[in-house]
Structure 1
Amino acid sequence: MTAYLDYNATAPIRPEALDAMAAALAEPGNASSVHGPGRRARRLVEEARAKVAALAGVDPAWVIFTSGGTEANNLALRGLPAQRILASAGEHDSVLQAVPEIMLIGLSADGEIDLDALSAALETVPEGSLVSVMLANNETGVIQPVEAVVSLAHAAGAWVHCDAVQAAGKIPFRMIDLGVDLMTLSAHKLGGPPGVGALLASPELPLSALQRGGGQERRRRAGTENLAGIVGFGRAAEIALEELPKLQKLGELRDHFEREIKSLAPGLKVFGGAVPRLPNTSCVAVAGLAAETQLMALDLAGVAVSSGAACSSGKVQPSHVLTAMGASPDEAGSAIRVSLGWASVPEDVERLIAAWGDLYRRSKAA
C-alpha cells in the first residue's frame, strides 16, 4: 500500500462524497427542467451550492459552478472588463497563462508577494485593473498577505481575485474578511471529485460568461450542471469545514518530517519555512540530490510525493515558484513537495522519513 503524500496535486475522494455522488447519479432529472425529477436535481444543486458557500463564508448566490479551478481562474481573469491584470510571480499556470501580457509582481525569498513592488505597479495602471494573488501556494504552502494586497488594490481602484484552491479545507478563512472580489475553489483538492470547481463572485460584479449557450449558473456559466460532481463537491466541502481542526494538526506531522530529515541532512532547505504556511505542505531541497532521483526512489519504496506543479506537464522540471523566490537552478531542481491530507496517518510520514533517509545515505556514500 502506497503512502500517499501528494494531496496538493489531488486528494483521495472522501467515501461520503462518493456515496453522495452515487445517489445523485441515480437521479434522472436535468436541474433546468421544471418537472418533478428536474426540481429534485435542482434542489441537490442548490443544497451543494450552500455547502460550498459555507466553506468560504459567502452567500450561496455568489457560487458559480465550473469544471474546476482552471476554468474558474480563467472566468475571473477573462470575464471581468479589467484594464490591466497583475499577478504574483508564484501563481498557478491557470492564472499566469489565462490572458496575455500579465504584469508579474515578484516574490520575496520567503515566497510572499512583494507588497512594495505591487504598490509601485498599481501606480502605473488605470483604475478598473485586476490583481490576482493566491491565498496559499500550491508548491510551498506559503500563505499570502491577501488582506494587505486588497488594501493596496482597492485604494487604487482595482479588483482582487484570490485563488484559494489549496487553502480551502486546510485553513479557516472567510472571503468577506479577506475582502477579495472573486475567489476560486476546486473540489478534488479537499476530497471531492475532479472536474468540478467554483468561482465565487458577487452577483453585482460585471462578470461576463466565457462559456455561452444556456442560462445556467445565473447566465455566468452555460452548460448542463454536472449534478453528481457538484453534489460530491458539496459533501466534501461540508466535511472539510467540519474537520478543519483535524487538518490543522497535520502541521505537527509536517514539522516532524522536516526535523528528522534536517537532522540527517543539515544543508536541507525548507522553502517558506520562516513564514506562515499551510499545515500540510513541505517543500524541501538538498542541493545535488536531483528531484527526479528522489521521486523515483521514493516511488519504488511505496511513497508518493511530487516535484513542482503536477498538472503542468507530467514531467519533473524546475519550478517557476522557487525560481521567483531566488532559488538557484540546483536548489529548484532538487526540490520535492510533501503534502498531507484528510486520510494521512503518522505511519505515512515515518515511511517517508525512512525511505528518504535511506536514499540520502546512499547518495552520500556514492
Structure 2
Amino acid sequence: MSTLFNNYARRPLHIVKGAGTVVEDANGKQYLDFTSGIAVVSLGHAHPAIVNAIQIQSEKLWHISNLFESPEQEMLAASLIKNTHYSHGFFCNSGAEANEAAIKLARKHTGKSTIITFDQSFHGRTFGAMAATGQEKIKQGFGPMLETFKIVPFNDPAKLEAAIDDDVAAIMLEVIQGEGGIHAVNPEFATVISKICASKGILCIVDEVQTGIGRTGTRYAYEQTELKPDILTLAKGLGGGFPIGAMLGTADLFDSFGPGTHGTTFGGNPLAVAVAQEVVNHVFEEGFLEEVRAKSDALIGKLRGILPDHFDIRGQGLLIGIDCKEDVAPFIRQAEEAGLLVVQAGSNVIRLLPPLTVTEQEIDQAVEILTSILLVQTTT
C-alpha cells in the first residue's frame, strides 16, 4: 500500500534522470519527453546553465525570507517587465499562488467583488483559483465555491457583455486554454474584452502560467493579441523546473498591495530567483524565440502534412494540441510504449509540450511515433 494520498492518477513509470528532451526510467528505457513536466522544463532537463546557477547559489544562500531587501528579486522583476507596460512584480511559489495574488489584488484595488472567467478555463486548485476555474470536474466534492465568480462561454462576446455589471472587478482569462483543450482567444473576443475593460474601468487579468516565458514563441502569449492586461500571472516555465511563480502589474496598482496585504514565506527565495533569472536570460533572447517559432512551424507543418483532416491541429509555439475527436488515453499509452511521453488536454486532445530546446531530429522522431499510432486509428 502506498504511503501517499491517491490524488494523482500516476502512470506506472519511474523517471530517474534526464538530459535535454530525453529522460530515462528506472529500467534504463529512454523516452522523448514532450510533456516538459507540463510546460515546466523550458530549457530541457539538467540544462548546464541551470545546474551551474543552482550550484553557485546553493553555496551562498538558500533562504532568508521577505523581511529583508532582495536585489536579486528586483533584478528578476526588472527582466520580466522590461519593454512591457508593467512596472512591478511579486514572487511566489506556483501558478495557483500567482492567480490567488491576482484575484486579491483585483478585488483590493477596485473595491469590487465579481471576477468573470470562462468555460473550460483552468486557474489552479486552491479555493480561489478553483472557484475561478471553468471546469466542474475540478470542483466536485468540495462543497460551495467561493462567491462572486461568473463563468461565461469562451469567445462569446454577447454572453460576456451580458455578464457585466457594476460589481465586476476583473475579467480573467488564458489567451490559450491549455488544460481546457488548446483553445485560443479569437481576435474579435480580445477586442471586446479590451473595449469593455477600458470603458467600464474593469481590470484585465491574463493567466500565463502555462503560456508565458517563450512557450508560444514570444515572451508572453498576450503579445500576440490585442490584449494589454493590467495583471499577468506566470509560473511553470519561469523556473525551468524549480518552483517559482510571479505576478506582474501596472503602476496604478502599486498602492493597493502595501505591507500586510499579501505575502509568502518561500516566494522569491534566492535559489528560485537565481534559476529563474538564468531561464529568462536564455529565453528572452530574440534569437532563441525565433528558434521556438521555427520549431513550432516545423512541428505543426509535419503533423498537418501527414495526418488527415479528421485531426484538428492547433496551438502556438510549442504548445500544440491534436484533437482526435475521441478519447486519447489509449494513444498516449501507445506513445509511451514507443518511447514518447505526451499529455492530454481534456479527453480528446493530445497536448505536445516539448522543451523549448527540442531539436529538429527529436521533432521528427516524435512526429513519426505519433503519426504511426494515429494513422492506424484512422484505418480501423
Q: Aligned partner of 2:343: which letter? A: S
- Secondary structure at 1:249's aligned position in 2? helix
CA contact (8 A) 2:93 2:244 kept: yes
Q: Of the candidates 243, 247, 253, which is equivalent to residue 199 of structure 1? A: 247
Query: When the two structures are superposed, what TM-score results if normalisation uses the length of structure 1?
Result: 0.74
Partner of 1:236: 279
Helix, strand or coil: the match of 2:284?
Answer: helix
Cross-structure match for 1:57: 84
* Matching residue of 1:329: none
Q: Secondary structure at the match of 1:103?
A: strand
Q: Which amino acid aligns with 2:169?
A: S
TM-score, normalized by length of structure 2? Answer: 0.72
Cα 1:173–1:118 change in 2 (3 A) is farther
| C-alpha distance in structure 2 between counterparts of 1:261 and 1:102, whole Å | 43
Q: CA deviation at 1:10?
A: 2.2
Pairing 1:1-366 to 2, within 5 Å after superposition: 1-7=30-36, 8-11=38-41, 12=44, 14-28=47-61, 30=64, 42-54=70-82, 57-58=84-85, 62-81=88-107, 82-94=112-124, 95-98=129-132, 99-107=146-154, 113-122=155-164, 125-138=165-178, 139-140=181-182, 142-143=184-185, 145=187, 146=190, 148-165=192-209, 166-169=211-214, 170-172=216-218, 178-186=227-235, 188-190=236-238, 192-202=240-250, 204-205=252-253, 207-208=256-257, 220-224=262-266, 225-242=268-285, 243-263=288-308, 266-270=309-313, 273=314, 277-288=315-326, 290-308=327-345, 319=346, 333-363=347-377
1:168 deviates by 3.0
> How far apart are the structure 2 equivalents of 1:71 and 1:57?
22
Q: Are residues 32 and 293 of structure 1, via their aligned partners in 2, closer, same or farther at CA, if it must alter by over 3 Å?
A: closer
1:71 and 1:251 map into 2 onto residues whose CA distance is 30
Distance 2:203 2:52 in 1: 39
Question: 1:244 Cα deviation (Å)?
Answer: 1.5
Is contact 1:127–1:158 with CA below 8 Å preserved after alignment? no
Q: Is the 8 A contact 1:164 1:184 kept in 2?
A: yes
8 Å contact from structure 1 (residues 257, 353) kept in 2? yes
Q: Residue 361 of structure 1: CA displacement?
A: 4.8
Which residue of 2 is the match for residue 327 of structure 1? none
Mean Cα deviation higher: 334-343 or 241-250? 334-343
Distance in 2, matches of 1:173 and 1:32, equals: 27
> Contact conserved, 1:162 with 1:183, CA < 8 A, in 2?
yes
Deviations 1:151-187 (A, max 9, x none): 212312211111122133134367898432111011x
Shift of residue 356 of structure 1? Answer: 2.5
Corresponding letter in the other structure for 2:322: V
Q: 1:357 to 1:49 in 2, by over 3 A?
A: closer
Q: Report the residue type matching 1:115 in the other structure.
A: P
SS of 1:2's equivalent?
Answer: strand
- Contact 1:127–1:156 under 8 Å retained in 2: no
- CA displacement at 1:27 relative to structure 2: 1.5
Identity %: 14
> Which structure features the higher share of strand residues?
2
Q: Tell me if structure 2 keeps the 8 A contact 1:136–1:143.
A: yes
User: Does the residue aligned with 2:357 lie in a helix, a strand or coil?
Assistant: coil
> C-alpha separation between the residues in 1 aligned to 2:167 and 2:147?
19
Q: Closer, same or farther in 2 for the Cα pair 1:148/1:25, shift >3 Å?
A: farther
CA distance in 2, matches of 1:226, 1:349: 35
Asked if structure 2 preserves the Cα contact closer than 8 Å seen for 1:87 and 1:133, the reply is: yes
**Which consecutive unaligned segments of at least 5 residues does structure 1 have?**
108-112, 210-214, 309-318, 320-332
| Deviation by residue 1:69-122 (Cα, 9 ceiling, x = unmatched) | 110111111343232110122322424535444211212xxxxx2223222222
Distance 1:239 1:144, change over 3 A: farther
**Matched-pair contact (CA < 8 Å) for 1:130–1:158:** yes
Contact 2:152 2:159 in 1 (8 A): yes
